[in-house]
Chain A
Amino acid sequence: MNARLRLAATGLLGWLLCAPFTAHSEVTIGSKNFTENHLLAEIMAIMLERQGISVQRRFGLGGTKICFDALRNGEIDVYPEYSGTIATAIVKSGNVETLAADLEPLGLATYSPLGFNNTYVLAMRQTTATQRNITRISQLAGEQGLTLAFSHEFRARNDGWPQLSAHYGLTLPTSGIEHALAYEAIAAGRVDITDAYSTDGELSRYPVTLLEDDLSFFPRYDALWLARTDLDPAIAAVLQQLSGKIDEATMQALNARAALAGESIPSVAADFVASTFGSSPTVRSAAWPAWVDALLANTWRHIQLTLAGLLLAALVGVALALAVQPFPAAARLVLSVCGLAQTIPSIALLALMIPLFGIGIVPAVIALFVYALLPIVRATLTATNAIDPVHLTVAAALGMNNAERRQHVLVPLSMPHIIAGLRTAAVISIGTATLAAFIGAGGLGQPIWTGLALNDTQLILQGAIPAAVLAVLTDLGFDLLERRLVPAHLRRDQLN
């Protein structure tokens, strides 16, 4: 690689990393990755924008932990939360009465309950419930042959299945399922019982029986806002306007419109705000369909994330491999460490990044970098180890120093394999980058995961199709790169 190319690569990398930070806003609103939380966050955003406050939306973050960490780090300013979740999953007191005191040491506070309680319920397939004559959770004791599938969060939470099953003395086996898919699974007869939120729009559309919590296990889950104690009073005042404005029936209706009738969340939210507080003058011009803008923005962000992670991994990976290449023990160590990093599940790696780098594009790029490293390092080491020893002898006999040996022998002779490693890393990165949406970095994962949460196939395809196209184009791009960097007789298809 010549100096000019290297300079250009460095510049590109810097620009890719810095570009997203040029936009600043007054308040950043987060949300979790399910319909209701999205809707509440969007309603809040519209309310603030009506007051002339500019809003940055970081919606669809992975879950309670990611939202909470992002809030504590100052990556987001406020997000919709539920009192029971704070009590059991965040402060872990289990007591919704002492939330204010328990949150204070964390520098956090709750604001303006919205007026509804979205508690967990167990939803049972209606035909099974009728057959077995079950209406209460306590009746499940002693039942056999039921398929229980719960959301991953519910299976792990203190207010979830472990304590619930102990409370009721239940010993049924369970498996995990994405919440948005659970209703379809029940309708198809694949699942008998799942966890649901009492305000889920689907509850009115799917044939399910809600089992009564007859031994009073679940606490209250009053919807409210979680923010730091230093929240701008102007924003707190807007939150106050929403206080008590949404009851359970209203929320379930709004959820149903978004999740089932296929209306977009912004339009449902805007409708609600307009009908509750009067219509606002802000009307968007729609000469160009909004989804095209979103598609282009998501694709472009996806390319930025993947390219930044890949370039970093290419520079570091090849350099690292060449540095340790002469020392077999060091090479083995580097390979094991890279392999170890690879075994961390991607979503867990992203979650681990938050305390270190916050949310957004930086932790996402770092996670992608970590994943891309192994294929690149392994390809480079394999290739350099496979170089004909005669060429290394010649390099030494010609008096080459280490840098010259790398430049004239190691790198060019390894190039076909390095490119193959980069190609593997790139394809992995395009897939993994969809997870970046969980930590607010956007990209094509945004429509995919939102679509999954909302059971919206069209939205899923708006992410999945461009991602597939990107993968194909990447493959073609690497063909061109190989043509440019490797003489015909040394290309891999010639070697194999």
Chain B
Amino acid sequence: MTAQNSSETPDVEVAQLDSVGVRIGENQILEDIDLLVPRGSVVAVIGASGSGKSTLLRLLNGLQQATSGRVLRDGRLLTSADSREIRFNTGYALQQIGLLPHLSVRQNIELPLQLAQWPRARRHERCDVLAARMQVSQAQLQRYPHELSGGQQQRAGLARAMALKPDLLLLDEAFSGLDAITRVELHDTFNALRGAEIDSCLLVTHDLAEANRLADRLVILRHGRIVRQGLREDVLNDPRDDYAARLIETFIG
């Protein structure tokens, strides 16, 4: 279902935020956010903790409701009524991974397919393909999540997020909990899967190096506001904003 959507509407942005604000009680978490995720692109949102980047991510699969402005998916206004359809069409992986501990790794990866009522044989087949691409072995598929290393668990978590071939993949600090070498290996896997398994992606990270390795576009967020966004090279070469400039300076060293 999901692959067809993208071919039917090639000229519409996968996701778009128009003057979006999020207010929770007294706190203005996000303010006046304008953001585009062009089809086929990887967009990285960079910011310190508390800058509102996870909240921004969750706007796009409806886990967070905007209190002002418009959230569009494939050119359509996002409403709570179509949340199930939107979530089937939006992969989500997060730092804590959240594999269900009572299910085998295979059952975890196949869970979205089961929810979408794929027949058993097709689920199995799809899981085998994903596991091969994510470098999760057949033996590991039979194990419980806690028996795998953190890196292998996150590979399974990403496989679960990509299972239904969603139009949009959301990664919330998905590589942050891992050691440096494992992280780089996962970055390589991610880049290798672009086009094949990963179409459009919005990821949030506090790590500019990671954003630089994975993303086509950068969005720099500070205190709930976007201070700079654009193509990666443009942003890196021309920060235009004090905070963005300092961030980039630390990265370049």
Are B98 and A391 interface neighbours, CB within 8 A? yes
Note all chain B residues with C-beta closer than 8 A to A489.
101, 144, 146
How far is it, in angstroms, between the C-alpha of A396 and the C-alpha of B86 when the chains are bound? 11
CB closest residue in chain B, given A404:
B115
Q: How many residues of B contact A (CB 8 A)?
A: 23
Are A393 and B111 interface neighbours, CB within 8 A? no
Contact (A390, B94) CB under 8 Å given A409-B100, A487-B102, A490-B102: yes
Note all chain B residues with C-beta closer than 8 A to A388.
98
How far is it, in angstroms, between the C-alpha of A193 and the C-alpha of B137 when the chains are bound? 82
Partner of B63 from the list A396, A400, A486 (CB cut-off 8 Å) is: A396
Residue among B87, B94, B98 with most chain A CB within 10 A: B98
Note all chain A residues with C-beta closer than 8 A to B87.
396-399
Q: How many residues of A contact B (CB 8 A)?
A: 21
Chain B 85-101 interface residues, beta-carbon cutoff 8 Å to A? 85-88, 90, 92, 94, 96-98, 100-101
Chain B 58-109 interface residues, beta-carbon cutoff 8 Å to A? 61, 63, 83-88, 90, 92, 94, 96-98, 100-103
Q: Does B47 contact A (CB under 8 A)?
A: no
CB closest residue in chain B, given A398:
B112
Are A413 and B63 interface neighbours, CB within 8 A? no
How far is it, in angstroms, between the C-alpha of A413 and the C-alpha of B102 when the chains are bound? 7
CB closest residue in chain B, given A409:
B100
CB closest residue in chain A, given B157:
A394
Partner of A408 from the list B61, B84, B111, B144 (CB cut-off 8 Å) is: B111
Are A399 and B84 interface neighbours, CB within 8 A? yes
CB closest residue in chain A, given B108:
A394
Q: Does A219 contact B (CB under 8 A)?
A: no
How far is it, in angstroms, between the C-alpha of A398 and the C-alpha of B88 when the chains are bound? 6
Q: Give, as a whole number of angstroms, the nearest-CB distance from B172 to chain A.
A: 10
Interface string of B1-21 (1 = CB under 8 A from A): 000000000000000000000
Q: Give, as a whole number of angstroms, the nearest-CB distance from A326 to chain B.
A: 16
Partner of B98 from the list A394, A486, A487 (CB cut-off 8 Å) is: A394
Q: Does A412 contact B (CB under 8 A)?
A: yes
Partner of B115 from the list A400, A413, A415 (CB cut-off 8 Å) is: A400
Residue among A409, A413, A486, A489 with most chain B CB within 10 A: A489
Are A412 and B83 interface neighbours, CB within 8 A? no
Contact (A390, B115) CB under 8 Å given A397-B92, A399-B84, A489-B146: no
Note all chain B residues with C-beta closer than 8 A to A400.
115
How far is it, in angstroms, between the C-alpha of A388 and the C-alpha of B88 when the chains are bound? 22
How far is it, in angstroms, between the C-alpha of A487 and the C-alpha of B146 when the chains are bound? 12
Residue among A388, A394, A486 with most chain B CB within 10 A: A394
Are A391 and B63 interface neighbours, CB within 8 A? no
How far is it, in angstroms, between the C-alpha of A35 and the C-alpha of B84 when the chains are bound? 69
Are A413 and B111 interface neighbours, CB within 8 A? no
Q: Does A401 contact B (CB under 8 A)?
A: yes
CB closest residue in chain A, given B112:
A398
Are A393 and B98 interface neighbours, CB within 8 A? yes
Interface string of A362-402 (1 = CB under 8 A from B): 00000000000000000000000000101101101111110
How far is it, in angstroms, between the C-alpha of A322 and the C-alpha of B94 when the chains are bound? 26
Are A399 and B83 interface neighbours, CB within 8 A? yes
Are A413 and B96 interface neighbours, CB within 8 A? no
Partner of A390 from the list B84, B98, B103, B144 (CB cut-off 8 Å) is: B98
Contact (A393, B101) CB under 8 Å given A399-B83, A399-B87, A489-B144: no
CB closest residue in chain A, given B91:
A397
Interface string of A346-360 (1 = CB under 8 A from B): 000000000000000
How far is it, in angstroms, between the C-alpha of A145 and the C-alpha of B86 when the chains are bound? 83
Note all chain B residues with C-beta closer than 8 A to A490.
101-102
Interface string of B130-155 (1 = CB under 8 A from A): 00000000000000101000000000
Note all chain A residues with C-beta closer than 8 A to B83.
399
Binding site for B on A (CB under 8 A): 388, 390-391, 393-394, 396-401, 404, 408-409, 412-413, 415, 486-487, 489-490
Binding site for A on B (CB under 8 A): 61, 63, 83-88, 90, 92, 94, 96-98, 100-103, 111-112, 115, 144, 146
Which 7 A-B residue pairings sit nearest by Cβ, starting from the closest?
A399-B87, A397-B92, A394-B98, A390-B98, A399-B84, A390-B96, A412-B102
* A–B Cβ pairs within 8 angstroms, 29 of them: A388-B98, A391-B100, A393-B63, A393-B98, A394-B94, A394-B98, A394-B100, A397-B61, A398-B92, A398-B111, A398-B112, A398-B115, A399-B84, A399-B86, A399-B87, A399-B112, A399-B115, A408-B111, A412-B102, A412-B103, A413-B100, A486-B102, A487-B101, A487-B102, A487-B144, A489-B101, A489-B146, A490-B101, A490-B102
